Structure formats: structure tokens, C-alpha cells
């Protein structure tokens, strides 16, 4: 049972495509895993479609300025094309992520973007990280924590979103399992840790420029692990 979901605003902007690339991947992956948010997304799509197409009469000023639209040139151009019933089939990309001999089944959004997943690097202790290469200011990265691993206490200058892909982790306030989506702003201090189970998470972090500079690396050694 998923307890933590993206906000209404996140879901809305996921549907319109107006989030950062990293957050689109995060919210999309949560939606893959969460039937409740799938229904929610569908409602938002229906509402927006209704807004765009619902009015029976076009607004008068628009209809007037739009007489040229009736000349049907575009309609003829489109129908001049032979329909292509057999168009491209999506490549069957791998749907698994392998680390240390463990296999993780990837939700659809991540599976479609398998080619973006970089190599695993060992961080401190029993933690690994693999970057997901997408453009944009945010950093998107897989973080894997083996059993009984603790992340040193840290804060973030920006926002941090974490999604549990597989497993379970705890912090001071709660326990997070498969599909749980946690959004923390910069003020929150937390110490994620695993107990008897390991945990694969996907994390998106704001990366303001000063965050990666030499001085803040010294001040916050943990950040240098993520922002390579």
C-alpha cells in the first residue's frame, strides 16, 4: 500500500509536461507504480481535454479571426497521405536493472529510458549510485542501499524528491516502501537508513550552481558524492 504520493500540483504538471525532466521521470515512475495516481492522472487528462475541446461554439472573436481555417487546405494535405497502419513498434528495451547480481524489475517509465542509466559507482559504505542522464538543472540518480546502511545526516540546499523503486528505508519520521514518493525541501534534516531489507531508490535533487562548488563540497561532503 503506497502511503506517500506526489502533490496534486506535481500530478497536474506531469500531465501538462511542465516539470523539470528529472521530476517528470520521478512522477511518471510513481504513477507507473500507483493505481490511485493513475486514475488521478486520467481525470486530469479528461478535465484538460474538456477545457480544450469541450466548448460547442468557438469563442466569437476566435471564430471570426479563423475563417481561413475553413479553406480545408490542411485537411486535404493530411488526407493526401497514405495511412501508415504499420508504424514503428517501440524497441523492447531491457526492463531490468542489475546490481551486484541482484535484479530489479523497472517500472515502465524507467524501462523506456533504460538507455539513460549510467554505470554504478560505489559510494561510501554499502551504497551505490547510478546516474540517469537527462538534460535540465536537476540531477536524477539511482541510489542503492544494502541492508543495515545509514546515510550520514545531511540537508539539501534545494529540494530533494525520493521514490522507492524496490525495498524499504526509514528516516526519523517514517518508513518508506515500494512506490512511496517523498518530497523534502531544503530545510529538512534527515538520516535515511535501511534495516533488514535493502532499498533501491530514485532521487531527484535541485542542483544550484553554488552547491557543486569546491567550498560547499567541503562543507557538505555528502553532496560531492551525488554531484559528480
- Tell me which stretch binds another protein (CB under 8 A): 110-118, 122-130, 146-154, 172-180: 110-118
Q: Dihedral of the CA atoms 58, 63, 68, 70 (nearest 10)?
A: 40
Q: Are strands 199-205 and 96-99 parallel, antiparallel or unpaired?
A: unpaired
Return the SS3 of 37. helix
Q: Are 156 and 109 in contact (CB under 8 A)?
A: no
Number of amino acids touching another protein (CB under 8 A):
49
Q: How far is the CB of 155 from another protein (least distance, A)?
A: 28
> Between residue 37 and residue 56, which ones bind another protein under the rule CB under 8 A?
42, 45-46, 48-50, 52-56
Q: Dihedral of the CA atoms 15, 16, 18, 24 (nearest 10)?
A: 20
Q: Which residue has the cell 525541501?
A: 185
- Does 62 sit near another protein (CB under 8 A)? yes
- DSSP class of residue 59 equals P
Return the SS3 of 77. helix
- Does 79 sit near another protein (CB under 8 A)? yes
- Does 78 sit near another protein (CB under 8 A)? yes
Task: Give the number of other Cβ atoms within 10 Å of residue 177's Cβ.
Answer: 16
Site string for another protein, 115-154 (x = CB under 8 A): -x----------------xxx-------------------
- Tell me which stretch binds another protein (CB under 8 A): 57-65, 162-170, 186-194, 216-224: 57-65
Residues that bind another protein (CB under 8 A): 15-17, 21, 24-25, 28, 42, 45-46, 48-50, 52-56, 58-59, 62-63, 66, 69, 74-75, 77-79, 81, 83-85, 87-90, 100-103, 108-109, 112-113, 116, 133-135
Amino acid at each position: 500500500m503506497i502511503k506517500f504520493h506526489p502533490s496534486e500540483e506535481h500530478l497536474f504538471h506531469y500531465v501538462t509536461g511542465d516539470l523539470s525532466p528529472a521530476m517528470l521521470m520521478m512522477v511518471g515512475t510513481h504513477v507507473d507504480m500507483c493505481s490511485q495516481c493513475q486514475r488521478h492522472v486520467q481525470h486530469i487528462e479528461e478535465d484538460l481535454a474538456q477545457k480544450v475541446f469541450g466548448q460547442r461554439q468557438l469563442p466569437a472573436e476566435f471564430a471570426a479571426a479563423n475563417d481561413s481555417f475553413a479553406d480545408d487546405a490542411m485537411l486535404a494535405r493530411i488526407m493526401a497521405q497514405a495511412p501508415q497502419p504499420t508504424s514503428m513498434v517501440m524497441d523492447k528495451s531491457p526492463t531490468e536493472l542489475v546490481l551486484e547480481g541482484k535484479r530489479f524489475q523497472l517500472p515502465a517509465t524507467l524501462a523506456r529510458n533504460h538507455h539513460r542509466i549510467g554505470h554504478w559507482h560505489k559510494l561510501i559504505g554499502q551504497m551505490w549510485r547510478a546516474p540517469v542522464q537527462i538534460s535540465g538543472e536537476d540531477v536524477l540518480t539511482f541510489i542503492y542501499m544494502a541492508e543495515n546502511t545509514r546515510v550520514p545526516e545531511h540537508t539539501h540546499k534545494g529540494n530533494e524528491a525520493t521514490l522507492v523503486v524496490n525495498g524499504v528505508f526509514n528516516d526519523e519520521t517514517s518508513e518508506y516502501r515500494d512506490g512511496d514518493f517523498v518530497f523534502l525541501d531544503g530545510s529538512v534534516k534527515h538520516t535515511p537508513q535501511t534495516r533488514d531489507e535493502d532499498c533501491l531508490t530514485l532521487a531527484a535533487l535541485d542542483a544550484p550552481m553554488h552547491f557543486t562548488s569546491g567550498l560547499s563540497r567541503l562543507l557538505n561532503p555528502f553532496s560531492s558524492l551525488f554531484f559528480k
